[in-house]
Amino acid sequence: MSDHKHTLLYTLILAALMLPITAEAAKKSADGDGPAACDDCPDYSGWSGWVEGGLGVQSDDDYHFGRYTGRESRGGTVNAAGDVRYRAKDGHYADIKAVDLGLTSRDLQVDGGVQGKYGAAFEYDQIPNYRIQDAYTPFQGVGTLPAGWMAGGNTGAMTGLAAALTQTPLKTQRDRTGVKFDYIPVTDWAVNGYFRHEKKDGTRDVGAGFGFGSISVLAVPIDYQTDDFGVTVGYKGRKLQGQLAYTGSLFKNGNAAITFANPYSTPVATGAIAEAPDNQSHQLSGLLGYQLSESTRIGANLAVGRMTQNQAFLSPAYGSPATGSLDGRVDTTQAKVDISSRPALRWQLNASYSYSNRDDKTAVHSYQDVITDAYQSYYPGTSTPITRGNRPYSFEQRLLRTSAAYVLPQGANLSAGFDDNRMNRSYQPVQETDDRTLWTKLKLHPTESIEATLKYSYSTRSASAYATSSAAAAFQNPLFPESGVGNANPLMTAFEYANRRRDKVGVEVSASPLPNLSLDLSVDYYRDDYPDTVLGLNNAKGTSVTPSATYVFSERLSTSLYYAYEKLDSGQASSYWMTAPATSTLWAESDSNLTQTVGLSLTWKAIPKKLDLSADVAYSDFTGKIHYVGTTDLPDLGSRMSSIGIHGTYKLKDQLSLRAGYRYEKYTQSDWAKSGAASTLPQLLSLGTAPQNGETSLVTVSLRYDFK
């Protein structure tokens, strides 16, 4: 029996072990101390809610339109939804919620029980992800190549391409089924648990290669299964609150390897890449909270976990250690203490300290590189296999947060804080980093119709010296193990480890200059500088501006308008280097990404209590520019989307309504990597995907019945 068949059993056993904690509380409940029915509450007993069924017609196939909704194909669909609830006077209840039952994005939840005593629920949902509609992949698995494929070698013209390509759309589907329960044996005590099984299948893209120049992008199948489960026991008293929990997760991959052919070799050679291995994780956690006084509360939590994977290596013949598997193990520890106090009427003080440790206890094994002819042509004199070792990355984090707030006259509030985030790493280029942030926020309420918030923060990151020893390197190159990446360059630093200064400013304003007019504005700006980085990311900045307005013409008619502007810019410098032929070139680059979105919505009660109409229009535009100093810029990246939606509800009877809707969407994409010269490079066999362009219309009609 596999581990996955034991997961529900694990949950039930743990629940049985925890039940004695509440045995005495359950006894008190049986003696009459449990929750009683409410005699003075309003009577909401009986059935209520709504059910709906209808038809939809879609004009075109469009993966972008149906990426997460399941409306990716043209033609007709039958759909159903509902939200039904039942309440009895003795506390029994039932809830049924259904969304898009006719689509692959369906969601169903059914739960019931006795309010204040116990409950159980069943959940099922599907999540589609349609990425690329027309992908073409050469040599998915091992097959016979067409004659003349290798004409001219790996740099020559490739003939017979069309005959060797297989159309394989990229799409995935998640199916999740779960159960959960909660039990309240007596006031202040609760036990709950859950079990959820998820299966994900479909097709994804992955890169594969032989040596240095034989690169292909393949469409490969997915077969993932994940089981999540857990049990929690909680206590909630007047001063003391506590919780003890266990959670577990088991992952299983139905595919051990990806097998593919090398179209650049004669005769045809085959290779394999290991897929994600089976693995599991388990965690125990506890939480305590205590009200020291009316103005002060303290809390603490602790969690310890373990993650393991022990799947056999794919090919022991290629230099794998004698163990036959990684036998990976990572132990985790998380702890936090926080305190919140209001020492005076206008003051609020908060502080917390968190500790996190990811301790990778995986043993370091030795592996030998396979030296090929192509490898020797780049690096002469490397005929002897080179030994490398896996790197068990670990880190420790210590995070301190403090803040203070003071209530000013006229409803204003001033707050400030300081955060200190220290990281310690192993087997990585930088061992220690320290991020310190000082922030302040001012809330103003100058008039009844105006509210404003001003925010500012300044942070610095200081890093220890960049390591060049092989023991600390994040990556290994057999020829230059001391550098971590390739030819040692003391001027080059990865941006996530580099010294950095960051400024962030934000403004939020809400105003109602007229009784029927509301205005909102949000502005955020940040700038990052890397003062000590010569080669790498030098600077980055971002600006976002979002104004919106709502105007109510009358009780029957209202409209809303919004605009969103977001711009991200960055600049970097680097060096391109290779051994044969020996070349070294410095280059500088800057990029700019701008996204603008505008939208308008309208709500109209055309015939009071009879006909309601609504409409929305939206347009979004993205442009990405990449500029190289002293050379030709890359073509702009871009995407545009326009959408129109109209919806109406006509009440046929008091409880029966006719609902109709229309949605139009047009999406266009400009991507030089998928068109032009880049898609025909002989060094890369891609999926042959063109930029996504789609135009789709959807009409829906349904009937809704309301329960009273």
Helix (H, G, I), strand (E, B) or coil at 631: coil
* pLDDT single digits (tens) 634-667: 889 999 999 999 999 999 999 999 999 999 999 9
The whole-number pLDDT of residue 4 equals: 46
> 637-651 and 656-670: which strand pairing?
antiparallel
First-residue to last-residue Cα distance in the chain: 50
Query: What gap in Å lies between CA 398 and CA 364, rounded to an integer?
Result: 27
Higher pLDDT residue, 19 or 294?
294
Residue ranges of the chain assigned to CATH 2.40.170.20: 408-634
Element at 163 (helix H, strand E): helix 161-164
Beta strands in 133-256 (DSSP E): 136-138, 165-167, 170-183, 189-210, 214-236, 240-253
Is pLDDT at 613 greater than 90 in this prediction? yes
List C-alpha distances in Å: 390 to 137, 360, 368, 688. Answer: 32, 11, 11, 35
The whole-number pLDDT of residue 264 equals: 64
**Superfamily for the 408-634 domain:** TonB-dependent receptor, beta-barrel domain (2.40.170.20)
Band (pLDDT 50/70/90 cuts) for residue 134 is confident
Q: In this structure, are residues 641 and 597 in contact, taking their beta carbons and an 8 Å threshold?
A: no
What average pLDDT does range 457-466 have in this prediction? 92
Q: In this structure, are residues 521 and 507 in contact, taking their beta carbons and an 8 Å threshold?
A: yes
What average pLDDT does range 51-60 have in this prediction? 97
Band (pLDDT 50/70/90 cuts) for residue 47 is very high
Q: In this structure, are residues 280 and 248 in contact, taking their beta carbons and an 8 Å threshold?
A: yes
* pLDDT single digits (tens) 355-406: 999 999 998 887 776 666 655 665 555 566 666 778 888 999 999 999 999 9
Element at 459 (helix H, strand E): strand 450-463
Q: In this structure, are residues 365 and 379 in contact, taking their beta carbons and an 8 Å threshold?
A: no
Q: What is the largest CA-CA distance in the chain?
A: 90
Query: What gap in Å lies between CA 413 and CA 391, rounded to an integer?
Result: 49
The whole-number pLDDT of residue 143 equals: 37
- Here the tokens at position 606 are 């055309």
Q: Which range among 244-258, 324-338, 430-444, 480-494 shows the weakest confidence by mean pLDDT?
A: 480-494
491: left (phi over 0), alpha (psi -120 to 50) or beta: alpha
Which sign, positive or negative, has the C-alpha torsion 528, 529, 533, 534?
positive
Is pLDDT at 26 greater than 50 in this prediction? no
Angle at 196 between CA 328 and CA 306, to 5 degrees: 25
Supply the DSSP symbol for 19: G
Band (pLDDT 50/70/90 cuts) for residue 561 is very high
- Here the tokens at position 590 are 């800057």
Q: Which range among 70-79, 266-275, 566-575 shows the weakest confidence by mean pLDDT?
A: 266-275
Find, among 662, 521, 610, 616, the residue nearest to 58 by Cα.
662
Band (pLDDT 50/70/90 cuts) for residue 622 is very high
The whole-number pLDDT of residue 9 equals: 53
Residues paired with 183 in a beta bridge: 118, 191
Average pLDDT across the chain, whole number: 83
**Residue 380, class by beta-carbon neighbours within 10 Å (0-12 exposed, 13-18 middle, 19+ buried)?**
exposed
Find, among 29, 6, 3, 4, the residue nearest to 191 by Cα.
29
Is pLDDT at 453 greater than 90 in this prediction? yes
The whole-number pLDDT of residue 367 equals: 75
- Here the tokens at position 504 are 């962030």
Supply the DSSP symbol for 121: E
Band (pLDDT 50/70/90 cuts) for residue 583 is low
- Here the tokens at position 193 are 């648990």
> 684-685 and 214-236: which strand pairing?
parallel
The whole-number pLDDT of residue 154 equals: 31
Q: Which range among 218-227, 267-276, 407-416, 568-577 shows the weakest confidence by mean pLDDT?
A: 267-276
What average pLDDT does range 2-13 have in this prediction? 49
The whole-number pLDDT of residue 279 equals: 97
List C-alpha distances in Å: 374 to 273, 382, 476, 481. Answer: 19, 11, 19, 20
Give the DSSP per-residue string, 537-603. Answer: EEEEEEEEEEEEEEEE-SSSEEEEEEEEEEEEEEEEEEEEEETTTTEEEEEEEEEEEEEEEEEEEEE
